[in-house]
Amino acid sequence: MKVSHGKILSLSFLCLLVLAGSFCHAQPRQRGVYGDWEIKQTFNDREFVSILSFGRDQERNITAQWISLFGVNDLQDVTLEENELSFTQVMRFGDQERTSKFKGTFDLEKGVLTGTLTSENGERSIEGKRMQRVPSIVGTWNLTLTMGEREFPSVLVVSTDKEGQIQAKWESRWGESTISDLQYENRTLTFKRTSTFNDQQRESTFEGTVGREGLEGTLKSERGEITVKGVREGADLIGQWDLVMTSEQGERKQRLVVYPDLSGRYGAMPVKLKLEDGQLSFVVKMQFGDREFEMNFAGKLEEGKLVGEFKTSMGTSKFVGTRRQFMRRPRPQQEQ
Protein backbone atom coordinates (compact mmCIF):
# COMPACT_ATOMS: atom_id res chain seq x y z
CA MET A 1 0.00 0.00 0.00
CA LYS A 2 1.49 3.29 -1.09
CA VAL A 3 1.10 6.45 0.92
CA SER A 4 1.38 9.74 -0.89
CA HIS A 5 4.00 12.26 0.09
CA GLY A 6 1.25 14.80 0.81
CA LYS A 7 -0.44 12.45 3.29
CA ILE A 8 2.86 11.89 5.09
CA LEU A 9 3.32 15.65 5.45
CA SER A 10 -0.25 16.05 6.69
CA LEU A 11 0.17 13.29 9.26
CA SER A 12 3.47 14.75 10.41
CA PHE A 13 1.90 18.17 10.81
CA LEU A 14 -0.99 16.66 12.79
CA CYS A 15 1.45 14.88 15.13
CA LEU A 16 3.29 18.12 15.74
CA LEU A 17 0.02 19.81 16.66
CA VAL A 18 -0.85 17.02 19.10
CA LEU A 19 2.60 17.17 20.69
CA ALA A 20 2.45 20.94 20.97
CA GLY A 21 -0.96 20.69 22.61
CA SER A 22 0.32 18.14 25.10
CA PHE A 23 3.29 20.33 25.98
CA CYS A 24 1.00 23.31 26.53
CA HIS A 25 -1.30 21.23 28.69
CA ALA A 26 1.66 20.09 30.79
CA GLN A 27 2.68 23.63 31.72
CA PRO A 28 2.20 24.36 35.45
CA ARG A 29 -0.79 26.49 36.37
CA GLN A 30 -0.13 30.04 37.43
CA ARG A 31 -0.74 30.61 41.14
CA GLY A 32 -1.85 34.19 40.60
CA VAL A 33 -2.20 36.10 43.84
CA TYR A 34 -3.49 33.14 45.87
CA GLY A 35 -1.43 32.12 48.89
CA ASP A 36 0.48 34.09 51.53
CA TRP A 37 2.29 37.42 51.13
CA GLU A 38 4.63 38.81 53.78
CA ILE A 39 3.78 42.46 54.45
CA LYS A 40 6.20 44.93 56.02
CA GLN A 41 5.26 48.30 57.56
CA THR A 42 7.29 50.90 59.44
CA PHE A 43 5.73 52.68 62.40
CA ASN A 44 7.64 54.91 64.83
CA ASP A 45 10.93 53.71 63.31
CA ARG A 46 10.01 50.10 64.02
CA GLU A 47 9.25 47.47 61.39
CA PHE A 48 6.13 45.34 61.76
CA VAL A 49 5.51 42.15 59.79
CA SER A 50 2.07 40.81 58.88
CA ILE A 51 0.73 38.28 56.40
CA LEU A 52 -1.84 38.96 53.69
CA SER A 53 -3.43 35.62 52.81
CA PHE A 54 -5.63 35.10 49.73
CA GLY A 55 -8.07 32.25 49.15
CA ARG A 56 -11.51 31.44 47.71
CA ASP A 57 -14.93 30.86 49.21
CA GLN A 58 -17.41 28.17 48.14
CA GLU A 59 -18.67 30.42 45.33
CA ARG A 60 -15.08 30.76 44.04
CA ASN A 61 -14.90 34.43 45.02
CA ILE A 62 -11.59 35.81 46.22
CA THR A 63 -11.19 36.22 49.99
CA ALA A 64 -8.40 37.77 52.04
CA GLN A 65 -7.20 37.82 55.64
CA TRP A 66 -4.78 40.12 57.44
CA ILE A 67 -2.76 38.04 59.93
CA SER A 68 -0.60 39.53 62.68
CA LEU A 69 0.40 39.00 66.29
CA PHE A 70 -2.97 40.49 67.30
CA GLY A 71 -4.98 37.87 65.41
CA VAL A 72 -6.72 37.16 62.11
CA ASN A 73 -8.76 39.92 60.48
CA ASP A 74 -11.17 39.04 57.64
CA LEU A 75 -10.89 41.78 55.03
CA GLN A 76 -13.95 43.30 53.35
CA ASP A 77 -14.76 44.49 49.82
CA VAL A 78 -11.84 42.56 48.34
CA THR A 79 -11.52 43.45 44.64
CA LEU A 80 -8.93 42.17 42.21
CA GLU A 81 -8.89 43.47 38.64
CA GLU A 82 -5.92 42.32 36.56
CA ASN A 83 -2.97 43.36 38.76
CA GLU A 84 -4.81 45.94 40.88
CA LEU A 85 -6.01 45.12 44.39
CA SER A 86 -8.25 46.96 46.84
CA PHE A 87 -9.86 46.04 50.17
CA THR A 88 -11.23 47.46 53.40
CA GLN A 89 -9.68 46.61 56.75
CA VAL A 90 -11.74 47.01 59.95
CA MET A 91 -9.70 46.57 63.13
CA ARG A 92 -11.35 46.38 66.55
CA PHE A 93 -9.53 47.11 69.82
CA GLY A 94 -11.96 46.66 72.69
CA ASP A 95 -14.81 49.09 72.05
CA GLN A 96 -12.87 51.02 69.43
CA GLU A 97 -13.02 50.42 65.70
CA ARG A 98 -10.62 51.67 63.03
CA THR A 99 -11.24 51.44 59.29
CA SER A 100 -8.51 51.55 56.65
CA LYS A 101 -8.66 51.22 52.88
CA PHE A 102 -5.96 49.69 50.72
CA LYS A 103 -5.12 50.24 47.08
CA GLY A 104 -2.13 48.63 45.40
CA THR A 105 -0.71 46.62 42.53
CA PHE A 106 0.90 43.22 42.04
CA ASP A 107 3.95 42.31 40.00
CA LEU A 108 3.39 38.56 39.78
CA GLU A 109 6.59 37.86 37.84
CA LYS A 110 8.68 39.39 40.63
CA GLY A 111 6.32 38.26 43.39
CA VAL A 112 5.95 41.80 44.77
CA LEU A 113 2.99 43.78 46.10
CA THR A 114 3.06 47.56 46.70
CA GLY A 115 0.36 49.97 47.79
CA THR A 116 -1.01 52.39 50.34
CA LEU A 117 -3.18 51.80 53.43
CA THR A 118 -5.24 54.93 54.18
CA SER A 119 -7.10 55.72 57.41
CA GLU A 120 -8.13 58.79 59.41
CA ASN A 121 -4.60 58.80 60.84
CA GLY A 122 -3.00 59.20 57.41
CA GLU A 123 -1.32 56.97 54.86
CA ARG A 124 1.13 54.11 55.24
CA SER A 125 3.16 52.58 52.45
CA ILE A 126 2.86 48.80 52.16
CA GLU A 127 5.40 46.42 50.66
CA GLY A 128 4.73 42.72 50.25
CA LYS A 129 6.61 39.71 48.98
CA ARG A 130 5.21 36.32 48.08
CA MET A 131 6.09 33.68 50.66
CA GLN A 132 7.59 30.56 49.15
CA ARG A 133 5.74 27.31 49.78
CA VAL A 134 7.55 24.46 51.48
CA PRO A 135 7.63 21.43 49.11
CA SER A 136 5.26 18.71 50.32
CA ILE A 137 8.06 16.09 50.36
CA VAL A 138 10.08 18.02 52.98
CA GLY A 139 10.32 16.49 56.45
CA THR A 140 11.74 13.61 58.45
CA TRP A 141 10.60 10.24 57.12
CA ASN A 142 10.95 7.15 59.31
CA LEU A 143 11.51 4.33 56.82
CA THR A 144 10.98 0.59 57.04
CA LEU A 145 12.98 -1.46 54.52
CA THR A 146 11.65 -4.98 53.93
CA MET A 147 13.91 -7.77 52.60
CA GLY A 148 12.03 -11.04 52.62
CA GLU A 149 10.85 -11.48 56.18
CA ARG A 150 13.39 -9.07 57.64
CA GLU A 151 12.80 -5.37 58.31
CA PHE A 152 15.39 -2.63 58.74
CA PRO A 153 14.78 0.95 59.98
CA SER A 154 16.27 4.02 58.30
CA VAL A 155 15.60 7.74 58.28
CA LEU A 156 15.28 9.99 55.22
CA VAL A 157 15.51 13.72 55.96
CA VAL A 158 14.38 15.98 53.11
CA SER A 159 15.03 19.72 53.34
CA THR A 160 15.57 22.75 51.09
CA ASP A 161 18.69 24.81 50.47
CA LYS A 162 18.93 28.62 50.31
CA GLU A 163 17.66 28.61 46.72
CA GLY A 164 14.64 26.52 47.67
CA GLN A 165 15.89 23.35 45.97
CA ILE A 166 15.23 20.07 47.76
CA GLN A 167 18.08 18.04 49.21
CA ALA A 168 18.17 14.89 51.32
CA LYS A 169 20.26 12.69 53.57
CA TRP A 170 19.79 9.02 54.42
CA GLU A 171 20.68 7.78 57.89
CA SER A 172 20.77 4.21 59.15
CA ARG A 173 22.57 2.02 61.70
CA TRP A 174 25.30 1.49 59.09
CA GLY A 175 26.01 5.20 58.75
CA GLU A 176 25.01 7.98 56.41
CA SER A 177 24.54 7.54 52.67
CA THR A 178 25.02 10.07 49.89
CA ILE A 179 21.88 11.09 47.98
CA SER A 180 22.18 12.50 44.44
CA ASP A 181 20.00 13.09 41.34
CA LEU A 182 17.10 13.99 43.63
CA GLN A 183 13.83 14.77 41.83
CA TYR A 184 10.29 15.33 43.12
CA GLU A 185 7.41 15.91 40.74
CA ASN A 186 3.70 14.99 40.76
CA ARG A 187 4.14 13.37 44.20
CA THR A 188 6.84 11.02 42.82
CA LEU A 189 10.28 10.98 44.48
CA THR A 190 13.37 9.58 42.77
CA PHE A 191 17.06 9.62 43.70
CA LYS A 192 20.32 7.70 43.58
CA ARG A 193 21.79 6.42 46.85
CA THR A 194 25.49 5.69 47.40
CA SER A 195 26.41 3.90 50.63
CA THR A 196 29.72 2.63 52.01
CA PHE A 197 29.91 -0.64 53.95
CA ASN A 198 33.15 -2.42 54.88
CA ASP A 199 35.10 -0.07 52.60
CA GLN A 200 32.88 -1.05 49.67
CA GLN A 201 30.61 1.36 47.84
CA ARG A 202 27.14 0.26 46.84
CA GLU A 203 24.78 2.12 44.57
CA SER A 204 21.03 1.88 44.39
CA THR A 205 18.12 3.87 42.96
CA PHE A 206 14.85 4.76 44.63
CA GLU A 207 11.43 5.58 43.21
CA GLY A 208 8.37 6.13 45.36
CA THR A 209 5.15 8.09 45.69
CA VAL A 210 3.68 10.16 48.50
CA GLY A 211 0.06 9.39 49.39
CA ARG A 212 -2.31 9.48 52.33
CA GLU A 213 -0.57 6.52 53.95
CA GLY A 214 2.89 8.06 53.63
CA LEU A 215 5.81 7.28 51.32
CA GLU A 216 5.86 3.98 49.46
CA GLY A 217 8.47 2.86 46.94
CA THR A 218 11.23 0.51 45.88
CA LEU A 219 15.00 0.61 46.33
CA LYS A 220 16.75 -1.17 43.45
CA SER A 221 20.35 -2.35 43.14
CA GLU A 222 22.31 -5.14 41.51
CA ARG A 223 21.45 -7.26 44.55
CA GLY A 224 17.70 -6.98 43.95
CA GLU A 225 14.75 -4.89 45.10
CA ILE A 226 13.79 -3.71 48.59
CA THR A 227 10.30 -2.49 49.53
CA VAL A 228 10.33 0.84 51.34
CA LYS A 229 7.56 2.42 53.40
CA GLY A 230 7.90 5.75 55.19
CA VAL A 231 5.91 7.67 57.79
CA ARG A 232 6.59 11.38 58.25
CA GLU A 233 7.10 12.72 61.77
CA GLY A 234 4.24 14.96 62.89
CA ALA A 235 2.10 14.10 59.84
CA ASP A 236 -1.18 14.56 61.76
CA LEU A 237 -0.21 18.12 62.73
CA ILE A 238 1.15 19.42 59.43
CA GLY A 239 -1.04 22.09 57.83
CA GLN A 240 -2.80 25.35 58.68
CA TRP A 241 -4.88 25.60 61.85
CA ASP A 242 -7.57 28.22 62.45
CA LEU A 243 -7.45 28.89 66.18
CA VAL A 244 -10.23 30.34 68.35
CA MET A 245 -8.64 31.83 71.47
CA THR A 246 -10.90 32.29 74.52
CA SER A 247 -9.99 34.36 77.59
CA GLU A 248 -11.59 36.79 80.03
CA GLN A 249 -11.34 39.46 77.33
CA GLY A 250 -13.48 37.39 74.96
CA GLU A 251 -12.68 35.51 71.75
CA ARG A 252 -10.23 36.22 68.97
CA LYS A 253 -8.99 34.32 65.94
CA GLN A 254 -5.40 33.37 65.19
CA ARG A 255 -3.60 31.10 62.75
CA LEU A 256 -0.91 28.49 63.34
CA VAL A 257 0.97 26.97 60.41
CA VAL A 258 2.89 23.72 60.88
CA TYR A 259 5.18 23.19 57.91
CA PRO A 260 6.26 19.73 56.69
CA ASP A 261 9.71 20.17 58.27
CA LEU A 262 7.97 20.94 61.60
CA SER A 263 8.98 24.57 61.53
CA GLY A 264 6.07 26.88 62.26
CA ARG A 265 4.49 30.30 62.15
CA TYR A 266 2.13 31.73 64.78
CA GLY A 267 0.27 34.60 63.21
CA ALA A 268 3.01 36.25 61.14
CA MET A 269 5.78 35.26 63.53
CA PRO A 270 8.17 32.33 62.85
CA VAL A 271 8.31 29.94 65.81
CA LYS A 272 10.44 26.94 66.69
CA LEU A 273 8.08 24.04 67.29
CA LYS A 274 8.67 21.15 69.66
CA LEU A 275 6.83 17.85 69.29
CA GLU A 276 7.09 15.49 72.24
CA ASP A 277 4.73 12.73 73.44
CA GLY A 278 2.01 13.96 71.09
CA GLN A 279 2.15 17.55 72.40
CA LEU A 280 3.02 20.49 70.18
CA SER A 281 4.59 23.48 71.92
CA PHE A 282 6.68 26.60 71.44
CA VAL A 283 8.00 29.50 73.52
CA VAL A 284 8.47 33.04 72.23
CA LYS A 285 10.11 35.99 73.99
CA MET A 286 9.41 39.51 72.73
CA GLN A 287 10.79 42.89 73.73
CA PHE A 288 8.61 46.03 73.79
CA GLY A 289 10.69 48.94 74.98
CA ASP A 290 12.05 48.01 78.42
CA ARG A 291 9.53 45.24 78.92
CA GLU A 292 9.95 41.60 77.92
CA PHE A 293 7.02 39.29 77.31
CA GLU A 294 7.09 35.50 77.17
CA MET A 295 4.45 33.45 75.38
CA ASN A 296 3.99 29.72 75.95
CA PHE A 297 1.88 27.63 73.59
CA ALA A 298 1.01 23.97 74.23
CA GLY A 299 -1.59 21.85 72.47
CA LYS A 300 -2.44 18.34 71.36
CA LEU A 301 -4.84 16.60 69.01
CA GLU A 302 -8.24 15.59 70.36
CA GLU A 303 -10.77 14.11 67.91
CA GLY A 304 -9.17 15.88 64.96
CA LYS A 305 -8.92 19.29 66.66
CA LEU A 306 -5.89 21.02 68.18
CA VAL A 307 -6.71 22.03 71.76
CA GLY A 308 -4.63 23.55 74.54
CA GLU A 309 -3.54 26.70 76.35
CA PHE A 310 -1.67 29.86 75.44
CA LYS A 311 -0.02 31.54 78.43
CA THR A 312 1.46 35.03 78.65
CA SER A 313 2.28 37.43 81.46
CA MET A 314 -1.14 39.01 80.78
CA GLY A 315 -3.08 35.79 81.40
CA THR A 316 -4.06 32.44 79.92
CA SER A 317 -6.19 31.70 76.88
CA LYS A 318 -7.74 28.40 75.94
CA PHE A 319 -7.80 27.55 72.25
CA VAL A 320 -9.46 25.14 69.85
CA GLY A 321 -7.90 24.75 66.40
CA THR A 322 -9.57 23.44 63.25
CA ARG A 323 -7.48 22.33 60.30
CA ARG A 324 -8.08 24.58 57.31
CA GLN A 325 -9.50 22.89 54.23
CA PHE A 326 -8.54 24.44 50.92
CA MET A 327 -10.81 24.77 47.91
CA ARG A 328 -9.70 22.70 44.95
CA ARG A 329 -9.91 24.05 41.44
CA PRO A 330 -12.70 22.31 39.51
CA ARG A 331 -11.51 20.08 36.70
CA PRO A 332 -12.77 21.03 33.23
CA GLN A 333 -15.59 18.77 32.06
CA GLN A 334 -14.72 16.57 29.13
CA GLU A 335 -17.01 16.43 26.16
CA GLN A 336 -18.94 13.20 25.83
74's CB contacts (< 8 A; 6+ apart) are 63, 64, 65
E strands, 198-333, are 200-211, 214-221, 224-232, 239-247, 250-258, 263-266, 269-272, 274-276, 279-288, 291-302, 305-312, 315-323
Gap between the Cα atoms of 185 and 105, Å rounded: 32
The overall pTM is greater than 0.75:
yes
Gap between the Cα atoms of 156 and 10, Å rounded: 51
pLDDT at 137: 94
End-to-end CA distance of the chain: 35
Tens digits of pLDDT across the chain (336 residues) = 444 444 433 433 333 333 333 333 333 333 578 899 999 887 777 778 999 999 988 888 899 999 998 899 999 999 999 889 999 999 887 778 889 999 999 998 899 999 999 998 888 888 999 998 888 899 999 999 998 889 999 999 999 998 889 999 999 887 678 999 999 999 999 999 998 877 778 899 999 999 988 999 999 998 899 999 999 999 999 999 999 999 988 899 999 999 999 999 999 999 999 999 889 999 988 877 777 889 999 999 999 999 999 998 888 999 999 998 765 544 444 443
**217, β-bridge pairs:** 208, 228
pLDDT in tens, 279-315: 999 998 887 777 788 999 999 999 999 999 999 888 8
Ordered domains of the chain (ranges, CATH): 35-130 (2.40.160.90), 139-232 (2.40.128), 239-323 (2.40.128.120)
Does residue 316 sit in helix, strand or coil? strand
Q: How many CB atoms lie within 10 A of CB 50?
A: 21
**Cα–Cα nearest to 154, from 105, 226, 86, 224:** 226
